[in-house]
Amino acid sequence: MRQPILDASVVRYEPHVRQPTHAHDVHSVTLVLRGRLHETADGVDECAGPLSVVVKPAGATHAVEFGPQPVATCRILLDPAASTFAWPRGRRVRWFTGGPAARAMLGVARALADPAAGPVAARHEAVAVIEAIESGSAAEAPRPPAWLAHAEAWLRARVEAGEGAVRVREAARVAGVHPVHLARVFRSHRGCTVVAWLRRLRTQLAAERLAQRGALVEVAAESGFADQSHMNRAFHAETGLRPCEYRDLCAAW
């Protein structure tokens, strides 16, 4: 049986690099470790930072512009002909904010950063990535309604402003729907509750600051956590790493 995992590696990009529209002949899963990027694929724009994961099928056309800071990504390449890998329904580009896919990809990145482990261990960790994607794809819903994107943008803005208390009922009011309807539709499209998603956003915000070698106390306050202990618990629950471990991992690249 053909092995689905062709390669696992960390790829670095200089600031402001632009990649014109292109495609690859293999499947790929990429985790942003450090920095930010803007990608256009399938007619959808995505601004991604640390702990964002993109799943791309072979042949998907996309263009990328990297942000003002150096970018580091962890990437695995998968054989489209491997019978052991069931690609997400619809074969379209998919982005994830944290969650199981990001946690599994961090396992790959840690293996690559460990001289005693290396590529062999990284390929072993990549198996968990495939499992996370397949699990998340089983319940994949159609494209979300426009009002949900509006609600998410409002929620994201509150988190990025460092607000600790963000209420779902306010997001529902902004979107023009009932809070219960928002909660139900959100879960069907994102695979988690709004509260869990907000925790992921705060963790992602903290990861971005940690990648810039921020002090833990300051990172916790700027990311909307009650204190450093709150951040430590939430960060570990989301990623399997302590904040200091993530900071050291980013420093390795």
In which element (H, E) is residue 99 found?
A: helix 99-113
- Say what the pLDDT of residue 83 is: 46
- Residue 245's pLDDT band, with cuts at 50, 70 and 90, is very high
Beta bridge partners of 13: 71
- Residue 137's pLDDT band, with cuts at 50, 70 and 90, is low
- Say what the pLDDT of residue 31 is: 97
Across the chain, what does the average pLDDT equal? 88
Determine the Cα–Cα distance for residues 58 and 24; give it in Å rounded to an integer: 6
7-25: pLDDT as tens digits? 999 999 999 999 999 999 9
CATH of domain 146-190+192-251: 1.10.10.60
Residue 62 in this model has a pLDDT that exceeds 70: yes
Determine the Cα–Cα distance for residues 134 and 9; give it in Å rounded to an integer: 21
CATH of domain 5-137: 2.60.120.10
Mean pLDDT of the 135-155 span: 76
> What are the tokens at 113?
């950063």
- Say what the pLDDT of residue 103 is: 94
68-104: pLDDT as tens digits? 999 999 999 998 887 455 555 556 788 888 889 999 9
Mean pLDDT of the 118-134 span: 85
Any idea which of 52-66, 80-94, 198-212, 218-232 has the lowest mean pLDDT? 80-94
Whether 55 and 135 have beta carbons less than 8 Å apart is answered as no
Q: By percentage, how much of the chain surpasses pLDDT 90?
A: 57
- Residue 219's pLDDT band, with cuts at 50, 70 and 90, is very high
168-207: pLDDT as tens digits? 899 999 999 999 999 999 998 888 899 899 999 999 999 9
- Residue 239's pLDDT band, with cuts at 50, 70 and 90, is very high
DSSP state of 68: S
- Residue 5's pLDDT band, with cuts at 50, 70 and 90, is confident
193-197 long-range contacts (CB < 8 A, ≥24 apart) are: 194/155, 194/168, 195/168, 197/97, 197/155
Q: Where are the domains of the chain?
A: 5-137, 146-190+192-251
Residue 2 in this model has a pLDDT that exceeds 80: no
